[in-house]
Amino acid sequence: MNPYLVLAIAMLLPGCGQVVNRQPVRGLIFVFFMLLLGAFTLKTAGAEVSIVGKLAGGIFVYSLSILDAYQNARVRFATWQHGKSLKR
C-alpha cells in the first residue's frame, strides 16, 4: 500500500495505520498507551492547564504512532518495489 495513504489513515484513525501495515497488536498497544497516558496527564495536570496540556501524554503517543505507521509502510513499500525490480 502507498505510504502516503497509510499516513492519511494513521492521522484519521489512531492505531489503524499499524493495522493496515498488518501489525494489529502493535496498533492496539499504541491505542492503549494513548488512552493510558492521556488519562494520566488529564488527572495530574493543574486546573489552569489547557486541554492540549491535559492530554499531552496521549497526543505524544498519537504522534509517535503516526510516525511509526508511515515509517513501516515506507520500508515495506521500498522492499516490495525492490523485490519487484529484481524479478525482471
Spans of all domains in the chain? 3-86
Mean pLDDT on 37-66: 94
Q: 65-76, pLDDT tens digit by residue?
A: 999 999 999 999
- Check residues 37 and 88 and name the one with the higher pLDDT: 37
Please check the confidence at residue 88 and state whether its pLDDT lies above 70.
no
The string of DSSP letters for 6-36 reads HHHHHHHSTTHHHHHTT-HHHHHHHHHHHHH
Predicted TM-score of the model (pTM) = 0.87
Specify the residue for cell string 488529564. 42
- What rounded mean pLDDT belongs to the chain? 93
Answer whether 74's CB lies under 8 Å from 51's CB. no
Treating both helix axes as pointing N-terminal to C-terminal, what angle do 3-12 and 56-86 enclose, rounded to 10 degrees? 160
